[in-house]
Amino acid sequence: MSTTNKGHADYWRANLRLMFILLAIWFAVSFGAGILFADQLNSIRLFGFKLGFFFAQQGAIYVFVALIYFYAWRMNKIERDYDVHED
């Protein structure tokens, strides 16, 4: 690893910022769309199902999988930017 102490701190700052953003999205989707706003979302239908029910049962899973892929893609970019990637 060829980072300096400042580079190391910047790398972890970027890593933590990304994790907090993705955790906020995860929380908003799982708790917000699945529980808090389910009644309001139920007035909208998707594939014949109420949208609140869809998010609580299926939609949140799709968002979680997308977040995992986005995290992997973005971390690869961050690791290359800070020269800590594995090649």
Residue 45 lies in a domain: yes
Q: Residue ranges of the chain with pLDDT lower than 70?
A: 1-4
Tell me, yes or no, whether 87 lies in a domain: no
**Per the domain annotation, does 23 fall within a domain?**
yes
Number of domains, the chain: 1
Full domain range(s) for residue 47: 5-81
Q: Is residue 72 part of a domain?
A: yes
* Domain-embedded: residue 34: yes
Q: What is the DSSP letter of 37?
A: T
Write out the E strands in the chain: 45-46, 49-50
pTM: 0.78
47 DSSP assignment:
T
User: Who contacts 63 (Cβ-Cβ below 8 Å, separation ≥6)?
Assistant: 25, 26, 29
Is residue 47 one of the residues assigned to a domain?
Answer: yes
Amino acid 3: pLDDT: 45
Query: CA-to-CA distance for 49 and 55, rounded, in angstroms?
Result: 10
